[in-house]
Amino acid sequence: MSDVAIKHDEHRDDIGAKLGMWLFIFTELLLFGGLFLVYAVYRNIYPEDFHLGALQLNVTLGTLNTIVLLVSSMTVAMSITAIQKGNSKLSMRLVLLTLLLACVFLVNKYFEWGAKFEHDLYPGSDLVLQFKRGSIIFFGLYFFMTGLHMFHVIVGMVVLMVLWFKLKNTTINKDDHVLLENGGLYWHLVDLIWIFLFPLLYLVT
């Protein structure tokens, strides 16, 4: 097979991989879009209860985590630029930095959730069950939506670790970096979801 035919097949595979990733992202957006719709409906029914529930959340930690994810989105984009320029070592460092920022996000979320459990502010607790129905729904949505997002963060971290090893053994390189691009797209999705979650849950007025 000629070099031209090989390159053509590789290009076709890259396009297929990118289309597959965009399709996956679309299904994830549908999932969270449905949750956002449920949230909007109940918030419209119980605006005061949702506001009171939001007052129990730690806006400082939420803001810090927003900044952390925005910076991590930048570092993963920079890692793609670095490998496109043939600088694999810099790309690896930036992927590691993205992983570190993801860990910071999870640690902050651990302390935030821990405080809620310490104060019995979780679905099904005796304290929450004494609240009005709207506040009960708010805390249920808060834990489910942020928990689902954390799951995506953890999956993203696994993906980033795999990408780091592929960068190390040069499977991902200047001429073949579609895997890193797809991993970056997934991480941008994680960031995008949080950008919607933060104001919806923490800044309810």
Per-residue pLDDT tens digits for 88-146: 999 999 999 999 999 999 999 999 999 999 999 889 899 989 999 999 999 999 999 99
What's residue 3's pLDDT?
Answer: 47
Yes or no: say if 38 and 145 are a contact pair by the CB < 8 Å rule.
no
Instruction: Report whether pLDDT(69) > 70.
Output: yes
- In the chain, the number of structural domains is 1
Q: What is the pLDDT of residue 5?
A: 42
Q: What was the pLDDT predicted at 6? A: 43
Contacts of 25 (CB under 8 A, 6+ apart): 185, 186, 189
* Average pLDDT value for the chain: 90
Do 166 and 6 form a contact (C-beta atoms < 8 A)? no
Q: What is the pLDDT of residues 8-27, one digit of tens each?
A: 444 555 676 678 788 888 88
> Which CATH number characterizes residue 83's domain?
1.20.120.80
The tens digit of pLDDT for each residue in 151-205 reads 999 999 999 999 999 999 999 999 888 999 999 999 999 999 999 999 999 987 6
Which residue range(s) make up the domain with 57? 3-202
Say which residues have a Cβ less than 8 Å from residue 22's Cβ, sequence separation at least 6: 185
Is this prediction's pTM over 0.85?
yes
pLDDT number for residue 162: 96
CA distance linking residue 167 with residue 193, whole number of Å: 27
